[in-house]
Structure 1
Amino acid sequence: MNIIKSRELASMLATDHPVIIDARGGADALERYNQEHLENAQFVDLETELSDKAADPASGGRHPLPQPDDFGKFLGTLGIRPASTVVVYDDKNGANAAARFWWMLKAAGHEKVYVVSGGLQAIKAAGLPVTAAVSDVKPAENYPIENWTLPTVPLEVVKDVSEKPEYLVIDVRENYRYQGEGEPIDLVAGHIPGAINIPYMSNLDEEGVFLPAAALAAKYKLAFGDIDVSRVIVHCGSGVTACHTLLALAEAGLEGASLYVGSWSEWSRNSLPMAKGE
């Protein structure tokens, strides 16, 4: 289990006393957190703490991963230890920074980390206590991380396999961005040749919560066909919302797909072939 509902969170808060992480992105992330967050939740910033923004976007994309040991030091400041139960949510239905934090903690080898389906909206709807107060944190030692343990692929590999029939590259961005009809963030519109489009929002129902595991499994098994999950590569604009689909795959029992961290933000800055339309 990687995804929990708000009612499961209520039970967990009473029994497991988890470390609660409110992960958000955007220039006003801290401001939104300060307005309201789940009681005892600690703020984590996608832009400064879950990414190495000093890197060149042409070499790693807009949200490259930090070094593992730097992330380990950061986890220590949050009081997260290898034995900790960690619950993470965001205010984007788990589609943004929460999924990225989940992936990074899993890639650090952590076992007990859960994303709240529906995010802050579902937490509030369940009547769980929200506040503007910031809780004190008891730091832990640096979390021991030597390498990211979940599979990632660099640009060179994607370039080599994207049009090979034995591989599957999934672009999880909104369909209009995939088709090249518009691009609100990166410099060029379009998609990686050979990639198919399964928007990350299709992992959610009309209420903004994750589909049941069986429904997710059926959807992605149909998309994979005869391709083994180890030959599936998932990307988005900058390696963030791709983690939402990797979370959905894990919940569906289809673990082993690779994350292309640089994603379209890297690909589109390197004079590589680009496609438009379906």
Structure 2
Amino acid sequence: MNEYRTLVDTDTLEQNLDNPSWIVLDGRFDLMDTESGRNAYLESHIPGAQYVHLDEQLSSAITPDSGRHPLPRVEELAGWFSGIGINPGTQVVVYDSMGGAMAARCWWLLNMLGHTRVAVLDGGFPKWKQAGKRVSSSVGVSRATSVGAPTSIATESSGIQPYFSWNSDGVVNVDEVLENLDTEAFLLIDARSSERFRGEQEPIDPVAGHVPKALNRALQLNLQPDGCFKPATQLRQEWHLLLGAREPQQVVHMCGSGVTACHNQLSMERAGLTGSRIYAGSWSEWIRDFQRPIATV
């Protein structure tokens, strides 16, 4: 049985829509209109897909010190994924309408929980519709599972070994990023647009600019004009040019709030460059403390 761990194409998904071991998640979301994705889902979606909301399932409540999309509570996230039927044998496919910019967050979180059989639909819902494939307005039905109960999550101190197990090593916190300004132990790569990175415009956050010494690779550079990812060989060449002598394990991705940073990690994984990490708080957390330095170009 084939396993898809980065991307899956529309034809393959269509062939497996009735496969009981496949679960499809609709992750459409708009940062400027947080209900537009759910409304779009209710109007039309891939048959059998269930909706996953960035704010409700894939993030926790904002605090005075956090960024705009804090990591979800692990127990709640694991419980939600278990409740919709995800178990060790499940192939998950998640899609959006933005070239994977939103879907990649769900992809990353499932990987962080130890579920690697998850892929982003290449080209997303626009590609699906363009290909003339069938759609539905019926709400997807969750599949119950006994594997990974909502409150059964392995942590470093729990001593239990259920299915889902959070990989804390895959996340970098703000203190580590601050320390890295001196040590340069890792290479920080920002997935926001070049205009936002340079501080020329900032449509979302109250402060413009970027973390000093960070490099910029806008997530759009991972995509072709049709919204699909570039070939793996091309992505690998482009990443090698950016990383230089750095190993993939020395790379930390960030963005505005820790969402689209996952798109750059997905791109690297697609290119066979494994082991990068995510600064989950990202720019919107960094600027919470005015004593943290800010750079503009």
Q: TM class, shorter-chain normalised? A: over 0.9
| Equivalent pair of 1:87/1:115 in contact (CA under 8 Å) | yes
1:63 matched to 2:69: yes
SS at match of 1:259: strand
Would the alpha carbon gap of residues 162 and 171 (structure 1) be closer, same or farther in structure 2, given more than 3 Å must change? farther
The equivalent residue for 2:216 is: 197
**1:265 aligns to what?**
284
Q: 1:115 aligns with which of 103, 106, 120?
A: 120
Cα distance in 2 for residues equivalent to 1:90 and 1:57? 29
Counterpart code for 1:230: Q
> Could you say which residue in structure 2 is the equivalent of 1:214?
233
Q: What is aligned with 1:223?
A: 242
Q: Which structure 2 segments of 5+ residues have no match?
A: 155-164
Secondary structure of the equivalent of 2:238? helix
Deviations 1:115-174 (A, max 9, x none): 101110011122221111113223223265425226110001111114655531101101
Question: Once superposed, which parts of structure 1, at least 4 consecutive aligned residues long, lie more than 4 Å away?
Answer: 14-17, 163-166
CA distance in 1, matches of 2:138, 2:20: 22
**What is the CA-CA distance between 1:57 and the residue it aligns to?**
5.1
Q: Residue 148 of structure 1 corresponds to which residue in structure 2? A: 166
- Tell me the distance in 1 between the aligned counterparts of 2:86 and 2:23: 7
Counterpart amino acid of residue 275 in structure 1: A
Q: Which of residues 96, 107, 110 is equivalent to 1:90? A: 96
Match of residue 135 from structure 1: 140
Matched positions, count: 274
Compute the TM-score of the two structures, normalised by the length of structure 2.
0.87
Residue matched to 1:176: 195
Separation (CA, whole Å) in 2 of partners of 1:180 and 1:125: 36
Structure 1 position 178, deviation (Å): 0.3
TM norm structure 1: 0.93
Cα shift at 1:83: 1.6
For the Cα contact (< 8 Å) 1:163–1:194, is it kept in 2?
Answer: no
Instruction: State percent identity of aligned pairs.
Output: 38
Residue 7 of structure 1 aligns with which residue?
11
- Unaligned stretches of 5+ residues in structure 1: none
Q: Residue 163 of structure 1 contacts residue 195 of structure 1 at CA under 8 Å; is this kept in 2? A: no
